[in-house]
């Protein structure tokens, strides 16, 4: 799981072109959206979702009532991706 978390951090940095942030700067349990974290927005979530679908071949259902919860932190995102493969 730790390797997947590291991969997801790198994916976030690269797909969002976060020039001031490195993958190592992103905390595994740090909120990705809203205050206190990377402060990403819904467009960022869409871009991350597209990249995850491409890289890991998972299907992300926009109607999933737990989707926001899955994208809350890198750890929750890793659990979601690993459960979908």
At 2, the pLDDT band (50, 70, 90 cuts) reads: very high
What is the DSSP-derived secondary structure letter of residue 27? -
pTM comes to 0.92
- Res 85 pLDDT > 80: no
Find, among 54, 55, 45, the residue nearest to 16 by Cα: 45
- Going from N- to C-terminal start, the domains of the chain cover 2-19+42-84
- Inter-residue contact 32 to 73 (CB < 8 Å): yes
At 25, the pLDDT band (50, 70, 90 cuts) reads: very high
Find, among 58, 64, 54, 47, the residue nearest to 13 by Cα: 47
Distance CA 50, CA 16 (A): 11
- Res 36 pLDDT > 80: no
Coarse DSSP helix, strand, coil percentages of the chain, rounded to the nearest 5 percent: 55, 0, 40
């Amino acid at each position: 799981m730790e390797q997947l978390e590291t991969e997801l951090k790198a994916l976030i940095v690269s797909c969002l072109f976060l020039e001031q942030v490195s993958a190592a700067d992103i905390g595994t349990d740090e909120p990705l959206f809203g205050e206190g974290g990377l402060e990403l927005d819904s467009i960022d979530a869409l871009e991350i979702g597209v990249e995850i679908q491409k890289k890991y071949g998972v299907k992300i259902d926009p109607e999933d009532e737990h989707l926001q919860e899955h994208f809350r932190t890198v750890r929750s995102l890793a659990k979601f991706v690993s459960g979908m493969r």
